[in-house]
Structures are given as C-alpha cells and as structure tokens.
Amino acid sequence: FYRFDSLRVSLSLETSKEFQRRAQKLLHTPNPPLSLSLSLSSPPMAQEPSSAAPSPSLDDTLRLLRGDRDEQKLAGLLLASKLCGAGGDGADADAVIKVYRAVGPRFLSRLLITGMGKGAGDAKGAEEREAYLRLAISVLAAFARVPEIASSEGMVSEVPLVAEIVSKAIDQSIVEECYEFLLLVALASEDGRAKFYEPGVLDLLASHILNLPDGSRSLELAVRLLELLVNKLTIDMMNDENLQGIASMVASLARLFAVLHNAIKFDALHMLSVLLSQKDTPLHDALRSMPSRIWAAHIRTGITAILQNRVVSSEKLQALLLAECMMSILGENWLLEQTNIPEEQKPMPVEKFLLLVLESARIEVAVLLNELAYSKYELSKSSSNAEEAIKQKQRSLAIPFSLIEKIVKLISNVSGAEGLYISESTITKAIAGLNETINAVLDFLQDSKDHGQRKGDDLLAAVRIIGSYLAEAPYACNQKTRDLLEYILSVEGEDESRAYSLFVLLNDSPFYSVCFMLPMLCQITMEVEGCKTLVSFGGHRSVVNCLIKMIEQDAMMVEDNGTIFLACDTILNFLSNRTGVQVQLEPHFVNLLRTLALWAGTTNDPSIIMMASSICTLIFDLTSEESLLNRSDFDPRTLESLSQLIIRSLDQDIIDESRDHSDLRQIITAGYRRWAERFPRVRNAVERAVNISTAGAIPS
C-alpha cells in the first residue's frame, strides 16, 4: 500500500466555482502546481458545474488521468466527477468506462487507503484524510453505477474496505455513497455478492445498520443490500467463518422489525422469515448459542405489532411463519418467555401473546380451508392459474397448521415444566379455540370425502394436525372423529415419498396418515369399544400394514422407534382384547410375523426383542403350527426364526436387562403356556434352549 507522500494538497472550504476554475487552468499548465484545493462543504461528485467555468473535455480529463504524477491523476479524477455524474446512462457509460480504465483500480485503492489513514508515511491531517476519503468514495460510487465496472475485480476487492469505512464513518453523505457502492457491486455479479460473506464483512454492516437514521436513504440502501444478500444465501455458504456475521445480521434485522413502523418493518419480517425458515442450518445453532436473547424478544415485539394491527393476510402469514420458526429454533417455550427490551414500554403479557398467536393462526386456518374447498370443488378447473392458486393455498395452510401443532405441544407440556405457567382460564380459552379449529378441519375432511377426494398434501396435513391434537385429547370431537376415522386412515399425500417436501414446515418422515393417528389409536384401543371401532372397518389392518412398512423401510432408525412402538402397542391392545372383537389370522398377520422375526433378528435391543416376541405370542393364539405351515403365504423357515425370537425373550440375560418390560414378559409366558401344545416345534426348541425349572421364565 502507498500513501500520497509526494502530494501536498492544501485544504480549504472553497466554492465549487473556484474549484472548477483552478482545475480548468491546471489542464493547460505544463507543470501543475503541488497545491490543489478540495472542497469539504459537499462531496465532489455532488458539486454543480459553474456556468463561468467551461466543462472539461473527455480527452483533457483522460490526459490528466494517464499522467505519471499523482498530482495529475488527482486533478483528472476531480474533473472526471462531471463525466461520471450521470452514472452510466446512455453514452455516458462509455465515457465512465474510459475514465475508469484511465485512472485504474490501483490508484483508487491508494486513494481509499490514504483516506482511511492506513499505510506507511507521514500522518496526514484529519481534514486532508477526509477529503481523500470523500473523493475516493464518491468516485467509487459513480463508477459502480456502470454494471461492467461494478463487476470488475478491482471494484469487488474494495468491498471489505468500504464496509470498514461504513462502520466508522460519521458523515452521512459518505455513509450513503458507501452503501450505494456496496449495493451496486452486489447487484452486478456473483463474485461481488460472495465478497460480503468473507470473514468480518457482515459483522461490520450488521452492527452499523442500527445506527442509520430512520427514513434516511442510507437505511433504504442498506436494507436493499441485505435483502439481496439474504435472498442469495444458501446453506452451503453458512460456514464457521461467516456464521457469526449472519447471526449478527439476524439480530440487527430483529431490532428493525421491532422498532420501525414503516415499509422497512415488513422488509425485515420477510428477511427474517427467509433466514430462519431454512431447516436444520448451522445458523440455528449459532442463534441458540448467542449470549443474549434480546434478538428473540425483538422478534416477539415485531410479531405482536403485525398481528395486532390491520395488515394484509400475506403479512400475517409471514409473522406466523416467523413465530413457528422461533418455536422450532428455541423450543415451544419461547412463546411464554418474557424478556423486557428498552424499546417496548408495556410489553404484552405472555399469556395474552399466546392467545394472540393462536387466534391469528386459527383465523388463517378457517379462511384458507374455506378458500381451498371453494377452489377445489366449486371453482371451474378450466380457469387460468386455478391449479397454482390451490398449491399456493396448500403451502400457506402448512404455516398455521404447524404453529398450532406446536402450541398444542406447549400446552400439554407446560404443567410439568419448571418456570413456566399458564393460568387455567388461558388454558380453557386455548382448548375451546383448538376444539373449534379441529372441528373445522374435520368438516374440511368430510367435504373432501363427500367429493370423493382422499389424495392430497393438504388432506394429509389436515390428518396430521387432527392426530396431534387427539394425541393429547383422544376423546375430543369424539363422534365426528369416529365417523370419519375410516376415511382419515385412507388419506394419502400426492406422492407419499415426497409428501413432506412440499409441506416444508412438517418434519421429513416416511409416515402415512395412520402414523399421525397412532397416538390416539393407541389410547382408544385400550378399551374394548375402541378396538371394536377400529376393527369394524378393518382399521387394524391399516395399523399392521403401517408397522410392516415402517420396519421394512429402516428398522434401525432410532428416531422412528417411537412411532414403531406406538404401532406395536396399538396392535398389542386389540390382540389382547380379541375376545371382545372378532380377530382372525389374516394375511397381514402372517406378513407381520415374518417382519417381526427379521426386525428382532438384527438387534440386541431388549425393548425390540420383548415387543416383537409379545406380538408374535398373541398372534400364535389365533392359529396353530399345523395351520400356519399349511398356508401358502408362510415360509416354514420363518417358524425357526420365531422360535429363536421366543427363546431370546426368555433368556435370563434379556430378562435382567428388560426389567421395565414386566408386562411384556407376562404376555410372553402366559401366551406360551396357552399355545405350546399347538406349536410342538416351537415348544421343543424352547425346551432345548431354556432350562425352565431353573430360569423360572415360564412358571408351571
């Protein structure tokens, strides 16, 4: 880096007219003087030419810029301000490109560094450095108005330095031109945008944006810049070097979202939604590890303002999406966290905020369900964009659905959580509202059933939210749910393999509709009446087939075991209550025997071994060894595998490890005594392997 050590510029507050006169005179001087005034009253680029001073020609300006001495280049750069003022419109763009090539990026970089007070050499005075800085930034901003120049390597390389200037500058005119330069470079090329993700750049900008005056052009430019960077940000670009900068950007946007009451508030809302709605990104961990939760309180304040005021539905949906994202990142309890911030004199009480979010979500669900039903069943399919409108409503519906599901979970967990409290009156209001919404969703499914529709991602999402609520209140909307249960268990997504990729707010999973209903089914089948309801339309087959598919897809997926065991418990329930319902050995039970043998045969997990053995024991109650071997759909080798499964479940080591499964051991031992005589091969294998008299696994 170099300083202008040979150049001595006397600084004064001369008028634009005098500056033009002296610069024009310099063009015709063979050896220009070492003293040239720079006006500090306004940026050189903003000065108006004097009518008394003739305009310099492009050739004269280029001659100075190509000179050997810094004095000539600087004089030429000052005169070039008139030529660059148009910023790339029409023929002026060609002139600006010629000027840029004549001066060269190296000289501009030296001028910029000198203005920042960096580099070697004698220290310049503060006014002199400010003049250099003002000139450098003004010229850079003017050059950047030409996309060809803005995308050049020389301009892109200045991004970190200009970001540093922004973070330190006091003069708003310098700040404004800095942001203009940064925005133009980011707009011009991918390389320009990538430069902002280098270490430290986003940190500088994020911290400074909060100091910009409300309503200023600098703030408008800064917000446009952040919008561009946010919309182009991908997960691959989130690395350890820039993650802290992106997290700082979230915190700054959160404060703008909280305190501003103009269009920028909505810009901040949209950017926060884009940043936080990406699933499983490193940014989530970075935000969770931030020492202060003020940013989260700011987002809460902004959401409150949006939901409390009259804004269009699309903006309310964005606010609900942001609330859903916050609960995904920080947990459902975020909805009940109270953090006071200086900008909010009277924060909304947490319980009132909970009801506000819930009520807003419920309203959106009611509106979207009505619009969807009308679009799907009443509106002419031949109308233009009808299909795209339906898809858009389906995507929108996923937002309040997911949010309501999280609120249901919050309410169910709050009683056992330390430091959290919801009054009985609030819980009563919330449950009343949830009941009303679930009834509306059931009506939507009834309408779909009446129109012969059972396939659709919106239908699948409707089943999920019903299942989530009934998991906590299995007998809510009891009659309507039981009337629709057969239809509910038959609903499919547009493509089961990618159903949740479309409803991105719902967790990726291989589950079908029956999986969403398993918590409720498991509870109602504990009673005979519930078993009768399920078996009356063959719903138990749906559960068995679902369990088989889950195990076959990936039996050892730990995160799926919870749902697998729910299905197992449901099957145990209706097999245990078989005396009250008519359950016979059917092909799906035969397939289940094979699947359970394979599942348990690949693991040493005592929970899996005991559960698989228990179900097999109860299925054996429905048949005999001879009948089983005579079936064309049963492989005799499976019987050997099942014998080994029974033996492993009676092994003393397994018994010692599974003391929490005493009820399953009782099912196995009691069942063995009932059917041992009907399964001689199994009995012989067990008696050979287990010393019954000493192990005590099967009491006589």
Q: What are the residue ranges of helices labelled H in 69-158?
A: 70-84, 92-103, 105-116, 126-144, 147-150, 153-156
Domain contains 255: yes
Closest CA to 268 of 218, 223, 305, 225: 223
Instruction: Express each pLDDT in 174-192 by its tens digit.
Output: 999 999 999 999 999 999 9
Across residues 516-540, what is the average pLDDT? Answer: 93
Across residues 543-552, what is the average pLDDT? Answer: 90
Domain contains 625: yes
Place of tokens 């749902």: 563
Instruction: Express each pLDDT in 285-305 by its tens digit.
Output: 999 999 889 999 999 999 999
Tell which wins on pLDDT, 245 or 7: 245
Backbone phi and psi for residue 659, each to the nearest 5 degrees, phi listed first: -65, -20
Domain contains 100: no
Instruction: Express each pLDDT in 464-478 by its tens digit.
Output: 999 999 999 988 888
Instruction: Express each pLDDT in 331-389 by its tens digit.
Output: 999 999 888 887 777 888 999 999 999 999 999 999 999 999 988 887 766 566 778 88
Last residue of a domain, one of 294, 311, 326: 326
Asked whether residue 425 falls in the same domain as residue 496, the answer is yes
CB-based contact 75:102 (threshold 8 Å): no
pLDDT for residue 42: 37
With pLDDT > 70 as the criterion, what percentage of the chain qualifies?
82
Asked whether residue 383 falls in the same domain as residue 488, the answer is yes
- Rounded CA-CA distance 682/247 in Å is 62
- Rounded CA-CA distance 668/647 in Å is 10
- Answer yes or no: is pLDDT of 28 > 60: no
Backbone phi and psi for residue 101, each to the nearest 5 degrees, phi listed first: -70, -30
Q: What are the residue ranges of helices labelled H in 169-262?
A: 172-188, 190-195, 201-209, 217-231, 243-259
pLDDT for residue 359: 98
- Rounded CA-CA distance 542/531 in Å is 13
3-state secondary structure of 164: helix
The 10 Å Cβ neighbour count of residue 91 is 8
Q: How many domains does the chain have?
A: 3
With pLDDT > 90 as the criterion, what percentage of the chain qualifies?
56
The 10 Å Cβ neighbour count of residue 665 is 19
In this predicted structure, which of 34-48, 297-311, 334-348, 412-426 has the lowest mean pLDDT? 34-48
Structural tokens at position 272: 């926060």
- Rounded CA-CA distance 455/453 in Å is 6
pLDDT for residue 56: 59
Structural tokens at position 410: 């919050």
When pLDDT is cut at 50, 70 and 90, the band that residue 100 belongs to is confident
CB-based contact 570:579 (threshold 8 Å): no
Across residues 294-321, what is the average pLDDT? Answer: 95
Tell which wins on pLDDT, 367 or 582: 367
- Answer yes or no: is pLDDT of 502 > 60: no
Domain contains 660: yes
When pLDDT is cut at 50, 70 and 90, the band that residue 76 belongs to is confident
pLDDT for residue 562: 87
Domain contains 239: yes
Asked whether residue 363 falls in the same domain as residue 282, the answer is no
Tell which wins on pLDDT, 454 or 362: 362
What domain range includes position 416? 349-524
pLDDT for residue 511: 64
- Answer yes or no: is pLDDT of 321 > 60: yes
In this predicted structure, which of 74-78, 227-231, 480-484, 597-601 has the lowest mean pLDDT? 74-78
Q: Is the pTM of this model over 0.85?
A: no
Asked whether residue 520 falls in the same domain as residue 551, the answer is no
Contacts of 625 (CB under 8 A, 6+ apart): 639, 678, 679, 680, 681, 682
CB-based contact 46:17 (threshold 8 Å): no
- Answer yes or no: is pLDDT of 24 > 50: no
Asked whether residue 383 falls in the same domain as residue 502, the answer is yes
- Rounded CA-CA distance 273/257 in Å is 11
Asked whether residue 461 falls in the same domain as residue 390, the answer is yes
Asked whether residue 368 falls in the same domain as residue 316, the answer is no
Tell which wins on pLDDT, 7 or 99: 99
Closest CA to 447 of 501, 341, 369: 369
- Answer yes or no: is pLDDT of 698 > 70: no
Asked whether residue 470 falls in the same domain as residue 384, the answer is yes
Last residue of a domain, one of 326, 359, 391: 326
Instruction: Express each pLDDT in 116-167 by its tens digit.
Output: 887 554 455 777 788 888 888 998 999 999 999 999 999 999 999 999 999 9
Place of tokens 């008028």: 15
Backbone phi and psi for residue 691, each to the nearest 5 degrees, phi listed first: -85, 90
pLDDT for residue 102: 84
In this predicted structure, which of 130-139, 211-220, 257-266 has the lowest mean pLDDT? 130-139
Q: What mean pLDDT value characterizes the chain?
A: 83
Return the half-sphere exposure (C-beta side, CA atoms, 13 A cut-off) of residue 496: 13
When pLDDT is cut at 50, 70 and 90, the band that residue 497 belongs to is low
pLDDT for residue 347: 83
- Answer yes or no: is pLDDT of 3 > 90: no
CA distances from 533 to 439, 486, 537 (A): 20, 9, 7
- In one-letter notation, the amino acid at residue 111 is L
pLDDT for residue 50: 43
pLDDT for residue 7: 34
Asked whether residue 365 falls in the same domain as residue 473, the answer is yes
Domain contains 61: no
Domain contains 648: yes
In this predicted structure, which of 415-419, 505-509, 673-677 has the lowest mean pLDDT? 505-509
Asked whether residue 435 falls in the same domain as residue 321, the answer is no
The 10 Å Cβ neighbour count of residue 278 is 15
The DSSP call for residue 384 is T
Asked whether residue 445 falls in the same domain as residue 360, the answer is yes
CB-based contact 601:648 (threshold 8 Å): no
Return the half-sphere exposure (C-beta side, CA atoms, 13 A cut-off) of residue 200: 9
Asked whether residue 302 falls in the same domain as residue 383, the answer is no
Domain contains 101: no
pLDDT for residue 48: 44
